Structure 1
Amino acid sequence: MKVLLVASLLVACFVLSQGSTYRRVCYYTNWAQWRQGIGKYKVSDVDPHLCTHIIYAFAYFRDTDGEIYPIGGQDDIDSYAALVALKQQNPDLKILLALGGWNFGSLKFSNMVADDVIRGQFVKSAVTFLRQHKFDGLDLDWEYPGSRGGRPADKANLVILCQELISAFKADATATGKHRLLLTAAVPAGRGTAMAGYDVKPISESLDFINLMVYDLHGGWDGKTGHNSALLPSSADTGDDVYLNMNETAAWWNKSGAPKDKIVVGMATYGHTFTLHDPSNSGVGAPAGTGPGGKYTGQSGFWSYYEVCQDIETGGGAVEFDDESKVPYFVKNSLWVSYDNKRSMRLKADWLKAEGYSGFMIWALDLDDFNKVCSSSAKRYPLINAIIDQLGEVPATTPGGETMTTSGETTSEQTTEQTTEQTTEQTTKQTTEQTTEQSTQGTTDGGGEAFTCSGKDNGYYPHPSDCSKFYQCVEGRTFESSCPSGLHWDVKVNACNWPELAGCSV
């Protein structure tokens, strides 16, 4: 019996007899428990059904002997156990341990991978530590190979490290009869940093998936306002800044050798603050320095989403939406905040679905409105749920053996924010592989028939003379796409399907 291969995808990238879904990868930070008031976040605040993977950030290791250790000692160990216990409520949940992070830096990684003996000790320590604390895998958060004190040889040595880790994980699974430990990595958005430190194709062969850190793209360090996590470029971008956005970053990693079914795109539940030099000049690219820290998060130039939405709701400011980059910003006197809201998250979900990437990654759980303190939050974790609702997933099992389930919420949240949310708006970025944007006057096939989206509702439409093609209409604009080889467009489910199930007869 043949089953539906792809549902609810613009481009059917996952061709699996078992079905398809999206990875929902969420970072849990071990320092959020020390915040005060509504900012305090503990394992008891975690929804075990919200994410498919939770990554505990962070643990460290010694570069003298490769031994991994918890930063917070027994407090971290207790938190490990509490997170793993969530699997009693959701047996499909995967808990991973992130190693490194920004504060850990690059030098110790560089030292460890350069020494064959210490690297071997590190690999053994990884297996022992993960099994001891019942983790499901390891997330390498090396920031960054070849940079910040690293060496040019880091690029090749990272490949060796990944190969040795995955080999050890496979051997451990064979020896113990347990599920193989997962191996993932968090990687940068900056093209120069990525080119210097990552041999993308060979590391992709060892990694189960790759988390793209497509945030912190702009901040007060730029001396001007800019978006923290733009979907698309802005006309204010110059030089290499035109590549600092979600679409360009994901495309570069894919073209460099990371398959789309391993690319997980990072999304931020926080914003960056700026102080405008001149409040009368408040657009994107306006002269500005680093802004204030949040009341609860306390980091200069950094606000959680719940801090942003609270400040918006006090009044006195204005929310603008950048139609070029598809993200909002908030201006209040000299305060300028780049952040994401439910509208931008839905647009990013639409883009992710259209491009065929394997899922999204959240930094971080404790920065969304997990306590529902803002009146605009109709449910806990409004940003994360906006993505999940927009993707409209179904349960499935991936080829690597990971079972991933949904939160059980399939209807889109339609609440009103401070700005007017246009929930039917779709991204209009021209895709670079299978989708070709046509003019609003219509497209013409070989037989001379013209198709136009003018006057049509947003949505999908069959090609009039080719069963393997279809159109997407977005605000009157026409996008022509092709199904993967051998599949036809199925109007019954708005997805590519086996020809005998699609029933196309043009």
Structure 2
Amino acid sequence: MRFLLLFLSAFSCFFSSASYASEEKVIFAYYNQWATYSPSYHINDIPLAQVTHLVYKSAKVDEDGYVDVGDEFADISQAYPGSEEEADFAGTFGQMVLAKEANPQLKTLISIGGWGRSDHFSNIAADDELRANFVESALEFMLQYQFDGIEIDWIYPIASKRVEQQGLEADKANYLKLMIELNRALHLLGNDRNKKFLLIASVSAAPEYTDKWLVRDVSKYLDYISLTTAYMHGWWEQVTNHIGPLYLGPSTRQKLQGFDTEQNSINQAIQSVLDAGAPSHKVVLNAAAFATGWDQVEQTNNGLFEEAGAVSWGSWDSSGTGRQGLYSRGHLIGFMDDPEYQLFWDDEAKMNWLYNPNKNNGHFITFENEKSLTAKVAYIESNNLAGIALRQIHNDVKGKDSLLRTLHTIMYPWQAIAFKGKLFYQTYKARIWLTVAFLVVMSSILLRLIYLQRKEEELDLRDRNQYLKLKSQLQQLNNPLQGIAALAQRLPQHSESITEPSYTQMLQVGQTGQQLNYLVHHLLQDTTLSHSPRQPEPESVDINDSLYVCGNILSPYFESKKVQLSNLGIAKRTMVIADPSYLQKLLITLLSWAADSANKHEKITLTTELDTRHVSLTIAVNGPAPSISIAQLPNMTAIKQCVNLLGAEIHYHSSDKQQSCVLTLLSSKQEPEKLPEIQVTPSTQAPTAQASSRDVQTAEKPSDSTSLEPTAERLKTLQHFSSQATKIKDINELVKEAFDVFVNDPKHPKVEVMRGDNLVHSNTEEDDKVDDGVSISHPDLDDYKFQLYSREPLGEEDIYYYHSLVAQIQMVRRQLHEITKEPQLLSELYEIASRKDKLSYIKAENGYSGIYMPNQADPTYLSLRLKTIKMYFDDDALLQVHRSWLVNPKKVIRIQQISKLKYEVEVDNQKIPIARPYIPVLKQHFPHWFY
């Protein structure tokens, strides 16, 4: 932030300098020497950033042409705070040198002459030697006190003996000579110093004065002509008038007829010198920083152009000076704030005035303000004048009421903005930095809060997505795991069909499935993961494979109902677009419905019809329509839910003798990727008998079953139930690992691994081989094949059974591969779910969540956030009473009110604070806790 402020400050300074460099209009400020005494107005009081040229009035010149300081104390001796002791001079001149250092755009000029100090100009200009002395002395004075130029203020006419003897015409010619020699000397000095030194003439704006100097000739040697239009009317006249009227309109001329006053205006004075040959770009219009007032003015025309009884006592007048009627800007503002003074505008003269009939028998004041200065600046622009000068700058005030600031704002609006910013900074520097520091701290806190909020939102989104994903995976696992458990129960019926090692491996798969089924069921039942169905994940599925699986799973149920399935082994592939898990759940429920509807010893007939877009599966049985009991309603709800999730249609048909339903699914033309096949092959000769091979989607091989063994308590089995094929990248290592899994089994099965026609790995001898074996291949294994040798040939029923088991394993594996990526989440959820009825509360502590149990000294810490935990458990299991506390509602004893807005809940002798937002909810749902 500090760097930014420094950059902006530097940019502001650059912009300020660039503005002055690019603008041509000048702003002069005239500072009177005696202002340092009264009104004690000093160089430091002038807002010099708004000035281009500062003219100091004035230096004096003696009869020999030597220039000297007009007031030694004020000019070079007066001490100011901060002045350097080693400086060659102090006083106002010293302050001007420092002012230029602070304001690089500023040019300073020494004015020589003026009222009371122009007596010797006529004689000096007429004499070659005196003129040379003056030029040399003026330049030395300028260099000694580090001015940038000279102003000649030769007041005409001068009542001198020379004028009386030789006449004014001689002065006009000599004035030209003086300016020529000064110009030449300044030019040579500038070339030597590589600097431009200025020469200015201060010239009277009286209408008759233009004829008293050689305007065209003298102008050639001047940089600027300062036309004193600030003194057009004042205390020397007895008629009220504008101090600096821009124009003199016909109606004004008419009103002034008969009065002893000059009929003049700024426009007349300027046009007079322009007509006489002065270049417009050298003429500087003058305006007054002071106001002029008259007393005893009649109310006619609101006091304008009326005879006055007296000139007002001015701001700096005394008995010694007499009445001069000059008011400072501060004095004027006091009048303007008085409601008895009314403000008026003369649209012809483009000037303002104030009038109060009740003050001093009629008080009239003429002055410059923003409106009149705007008109003058417009005049400067339209006539291509050099700029404007403010006379007697010591009468101005600081701040927003400053006339100089107003003028600067009108002429340089963009630069004025920069100046105001700089002035504001200088005035309120301490407050600004304090505010900036406060804003930086608050911004840092706000950004930190925003960052934490964003981080919290990201964590919430991640946890929400994780929740939805886990819910989908667990719900998708539920049905296949139940299928594996059901098939595993029938495994003993097939024990004679496969070698003992292979039977052991199949048994391990069944046991693992039962363990997983228990864990998944536990997580679903004890959390909110089962509250709503997951979103389906459609893919291309062979409906016949699903029917085989469902038939095998429901085989014991069919036997108990004494019904059979007909046409279960349809060879033709019938592909549909469906979610495998939801399709299996739906088919199991529909076949159960059919078994309940069929007469004993009847068959459940399955037929399919295909068109270009749909597959219709008809399930028909002979028997009367069954009555639907309350116990069967969940099954009907499950059918409806599955049908909706699959985007399918179902229609029921009923008669006294036959019941049927037609399930319509979207047809799929996509063939599934050919995956492991189970086939019966002779061990030493070409195949003699082969069951119809069926491609079943799976990513497991029987040898992977050993990797599904549980290695630790609870979820270790779930975490390691992932195919070894997903862990090993090299195919040769994968095959060797799979072979070792088979060989190292406690039952030591006989295994051969073939690559094409070549034997790669084997633990068999020729005598170990039997007639038939189970051959397992997989596309991921390239042309590798595993063979497990059996004792007896496999029947078709066994083949169907193995297909069913492998299909279930494939569905489970597909989800386990994703689920086991989050072992810590599953472990911690199970940690909570297994204790949710016993735990007292869960508390957020130092980035962890601690489970507190009764009679347990130390809590069990989890990495899950409380907000995440609450997502998985409803209020019946864990109730939030504070952002850092979840309590078991079954353990709550009571709620106590500590103060008007403070409550505590007591859980197993532990008092836990309740956050205020939770109190209304607790009162609504658990009112008995508050009594």
TM value normalised by structure 1: 0.68
In the alignment, which of 83, 88, 102 is matched to residue 101 of structure 2? 88
1:171 aligns with 2:171: no
Shift of 1:163: 0.2
In the alignment, which of 186, 196, 203 is matched to residue 202 of structure 2? 186
User: Which residue of 1 is the match for residue 344 of structure 2?
Assistant: 320
1:71 aligns with 2:88: no
Shift of 1:118: 1.0
Shift of 1:273: 1.4
Partner SS state of residue 220, structure 2:
helix
Contact residue 21 and residue 393 of structure 1 kept, 8 A: no
Tell me which amino acid in the other structure corresponds to 1:387: L
CA pair 256-243 structure 1, distance change in 2 beyond 3 A: farther
Shift of 1:410: 9.4
User: Which residue of 2 is the match for residue 203 of structure 1?
Assistant: 218
User: Which residue of 1 is the match for residue 176 of structure 2?
Assistant: 159
1:258 aligns with 2:261: no
User: Which residue of 2 is the match for residue 429 of structure 1?
Assistant: none
Partner SS state of residue 236, structure 2:
helix
Q: What do the CA deviations read for 1:432-481 (whole angstroms, capped 9, x no partner)?
A: xxxxxxxxxxxxxxxxxxxxxxxxxxxxxxxxxxxxxxxxxxxxxxxxxx
Contact residue 265 and residue 361 of structure 1 kept, 8 A: yes
User: Which residue of 1 is the match for residue 386 of structure 2?
Assistant: 358
Tell me which amino acid in the other structure corresponds to 1:251: Q
Partner SS state of residue 278, structure 2:
coil
In the alignment, which of 24, 30, 35 is matched to residue 27 of structure 2? 24
Shift of 1:174: 3.0
Supply the distance in 1 between the matched residues of 2:173 and 2:306 (Cα, whole angstroms).
Answer: 40
CA pair 148-139 structure 1, distance change in 2 beyond 3 A: same
Partner SS state of residue 185, structure 1:
strand
User: Which residue of 1 is the match for residue 133 of structure 2?
Assistant: 121
Structure-to-structure mapping, 1:406-485, within 5 angstroms: 408-409=418-419
Shift of 1:335: 1.6
Tell me which amino acid in the other structure corresponds to 2:140: T
Tell me which amino acid in the other structure corresponds to 2:149: G
1:386 aligns with 2:406: yes
Supply the distance in 2 between the matched residues of 1:20 and 1:88 (Cα, whole angstroms).
Answer: 21
Shift of 1:74: 3.6
In the alignment, which of 275, 298, 310 is matched to residue 334 of structure 2? 310
Supply the distance in 2 between the matched residues of 1:58 and 1:93 (Cα, whole angstroms).
Answer: 18
Aligned length: 368
Shift of 1:103: 3.1
User: Which residue of 1 is the match for residue 119 of structure 2?
Assistant: 107
Supply the distance in 1 between the matched residues of 2:310 and 2:51 (Cα, whole angstroms).
Answer: 32
Contact residue 50 and residue 407 of structure 1 kept, 8 A: no
Shift of 1:141: 1.0
Q: Percent identity?
A: 26
Partner SS state of residue 119, structure 1:
helix
Contact residue 220 and residue 288 of structure 1 kept, 8 A: no
Higher helix share: 2
Supply the distance in 1 between the matched residues of 2:299 and 2:159 (Cα, whole angstroms).
Answer: 35
User: Which residue of 1 is the match for residue 912 of structure 2?
Assistant: none
Supply the distance in 1 between the matched residues of 2:418 and 2:226 (Cα, whole angstroms).
Answer: 24
Shift of 1:61: 0.6
TM value normalised by structure 2: 0.38
Contact residue 25 and residue 52 of structure 1 kept, 8 A: yes
Q: What do the CA deviations read for 1:247-269 (whole angstroms, capped 9, x no partner)?
A: 12111111211111111111111
User: Which residue of 1 is the match for residue 269 of structure 2?
Assistant: 249
Structure-to-structure mapping, 1:4-43, within 5 angstroms: 19-35=22-38, 39-43=39-43
Tell me which amino acid in the other structure corresponds to 2:242: H
In the alignment, which of 259, 264, 273 is matched to residue 293 of structure 2? 273
Contact residue 225 and residue 336 of structure 1 kept, 8 A: yes
Q: Highest Rg: 1 or 2?
A: 2
Partner SS state of residue 107, structure 1:
coil
Contact residue 346 and residue 386 of structure 1 kept, 8 A: no
1:134 aligns with 2:133: no
Tell me which amino acid in the other structure corresponds to 1:24: I
Contact residue 290 and residue 300 of structure 1 kept, 8 A: no
Shift of 1:138: 0.4
Partner SS state of residue 31, structure 1:
helix
Shift of 1:46: 2.0
Partner SS state of residue 163, structure 1:
helix
CA pair 228-199 structure 1, distance change in 2 beyond 3 A: same
Contact residue 190 and residue 196 of structure 2 kept, 8 A: yes
Shift of 1:358: 1.3
Structure 2 spans left out of the alignment, 5+ residues = 1-20, 77-90, 422-931
Q: What do the CA deviations read for 1:111-159 (whole angstroms, capped 9, x no partner)?
A: 2212221111000101111001101010111112x45545402111111
Supply the distance in 1 between the matched residues of 2:134 and 2:309 (Cα, whole angstroms).
Answer: 41
Q: What do the CA deviations read for 1:284-328 (whole angstroms, capped 9, x no partner)?
A: 221114422323465622112221121221332222111110101
Supply the distance in 2 between the matched residues of 1:407 and 1:158 (Cα, whole angstroms).
Answer: 43
Supply the distance in 1 between the matched residues of 2:278 and 2:28 (Cα, whole angstroms).
Answer: 18
Shift of 1:191: 1.9
CA pair 393-109 structure 1, distance change in 2 beyond 3 A: farther
Shift of 1:230: 0.6
Q: What do the CA deviations read for 1:144-192 (whole angstroms, capped 9, x no partner)?
A: 2x455454021111111000001111122233x2413210011111121
User: Which residue of 1 is the match for residue 304 of structure 2?
Assistant: 284
Tell me which amino acid in the other structure corresponds to 2:366: S
1:55 aligns with 2:55: yes
User: Which residue of 1 is the match for residue 492 of structure 2?
Assistant: none
Q: What do the CA deviations read for 1:50-96 (whole angstroms, capped 9, x no partner)?
A: 10000111111102x11111111143122111112111111221010
Contact residue 172 and residue 214 of structure 2 kept, 8 A: yes
Tell me which amino acid in the other structure corresponds to 1:208: D
Tell me which amino acid in the other structure corresponds to 2:47: D
Supply the distance in 1 between the matched residues of 2:116 and 2:106 (Cα, whole angstroms).
Answer: 28
CA pair 305-24 structure 1, distance change in 2 beyond 3 A: same
Shift of 1:282: 4.2
Partner SS state of residue 81, structure 1:
helix
Contact residue 393 and residue 410 of structure 1 kept, 8 A: no
Tell me which amino acid in the other structure corresponds to 2:374: R
Shift of 1:220: 3.6
User: Which residue of 1 is the match for residue 244 of structure 2?
Assistant: 229
Shift of 1:276: 3.0
Shift of 1:243: 5.8
Tell me which amino acid in the other structure corresponds to 1:228: I
Partner SS state of residue 88, structure 1:
helix
Contact residue 49 and residue 419 of structure 2 kept, 8 A: no
Supply the distance in 1 between the matched residues of 2:344 and 2:119 (Cα, whole angstroms).
Answer: 41
Contact residue 204 and residue 210 of structure 1 kept, 8 A: yes
Shift of 1:244: 1.7
Contact residue 189 and residue 214 of structure 1 kept, 8 A: yes
Larger RCO (CA under 8 A, 6+ residues apart): 1
Tell me which amino acid in the other structure corresponds to 1:362: L
Contact residue 291 and residue 367 of structure 2 kept, 8 A: yes
Q: What do the CA deviations read for 1:322-364 (whole angstroms, capped 9, x no partner)?
A: 1110101111232211111121111211221122111111102
Partner SS state of residue 333, structure 2:
helix
Contact residue 316 and residue 326 of structure 2 kept, 8 A: no
In the alignment, which of 296, 300, 309 is matched to residue 324 of structure 2? 300
Shift of 1:24: 0.8
